[in-house]
Structure 1
Amino acid sequence: MTYTINRIIKDTDFEDVDKRARKALSDYGFGVLTEIDVRATMKKKLNKNMPAYLILGACNPGMAWEAIGVEARVGAMLPCNVILREVPEGVEVSAVDPVVSMSAIDNDELKPIAAKVRDMLSEVVQAI
């Protein structure tokens, strides 16, 4: 079972995909709450080099409100992470699949919310 929604974008650079990802997230009601530049962190902390790798912590406030309303501790699994990483074929975009991650929570009321967020993130990934 895959736990991410993936797409490889070719014929452009990392910075362009980053801009497009942020716009697509915004267009679908997600804000970027956190940002981790993994490449810079690995260089600084371990003196290791790696291709560009960015983690965007995206949140749709309305969907988060619904999820927290039916499962108060769901915040431990938020926000929805979207990664951008350089690969030989271009830039891979991967968004967490909320249905898979939320399957760890035994609450049937959460399932339709996770499914809606998965659909939204799938549209975001395709829109980039």
Structure 2
Amino acid sequence: MSYTHTITVPLPYADAVERTREALAEQGFGILSEIDVHAAFEQKLGTEAAEALGDYVILGACNPGLASKALAAEPQLGALLPCNVVVRRGAESQTTIEAVDPQTLVELSEAPEVRDVADDADARLRAALEAIQSDAAPTT
């Protein structure tokens, strides 16, 4: 099973990060955490490791209404929140954006409320990715 939804866009890295934030906000997600993996690698492992990785950020996205429903149904799901969205770019000319597939939560829980939350979160994350891809498409 694939555990992410992935798109590749012809946007510069910084533009892709900004557009990802905007698209997530349009779907009701806020960013609770941000991990600059490139900077962490550079600090802990050195410049060579950071350069090998390329630009890489993990955005911890959370839709408070959905999180509230999920945690009410199954409090231990907090270990799987927030929904991580990765924006990364190596030496290639395009940027990759990956969002966790919320359906993985369904595989770990038997609560029907979790399925409803996962379905809603999945639709919202897919809509955000589709908006980014649509905005980034070259015009002719």
TM tier, shorter chain? over 0.9
Moved over 6 A (4+): none
User: Match of 2:72?
Assistant: 69
* Matches of 1:127 and 1:51, distance apart in 2: 24
Identity of aligned residues (%): 38
Residues 39-70 of structure 1 show CA distances to partners (whole Å, capped at 9, x for unaligned) of: 11011001122210100000000100111111
* Matches of 2:70 and 2:130, distance apart in 1: 24
TM-score, structure 1 length as denominator? 0.94
Q: Which amino acid aligns with 2:18?
A: K
SS of the aligned residue for 1:85 comes to strand
Asked if structure 1 preserves the Cα contact closer than 8 Å seen for 2:103 and 2:119, the reply is yes
Higher helix proportion (structure 1 or 2): 2
1:9-88 equivalences under 5 Å are: 9-10=9-10, 12-47=11-46, 48-49=49-50, 50-87=53-90, 88=92
User: Match of 1:94?
Assistant: 98
State the structure with more CA Rg: 2
TM-score, structure 2 length as denominator? 0.86
Structure 1: gaps (5+ residues): none
Give 1:109 deviation, angstroms. Answer: 2.5
Q: Which amino acid aligns with 2:2?
A: T
Give the aligned length: 127
SS of the aligned residue for 2:108 comes to coil
1:110 pairs with 107, 114, 118, which one? Answer: 114
* Matches of 2:19 and 2:112, distance apart in 1: 34
The answer to whether residue 5 in structure 2 is matched with residue 5 in structure 1 is yes
CA RMSD between the two structures? 1.1
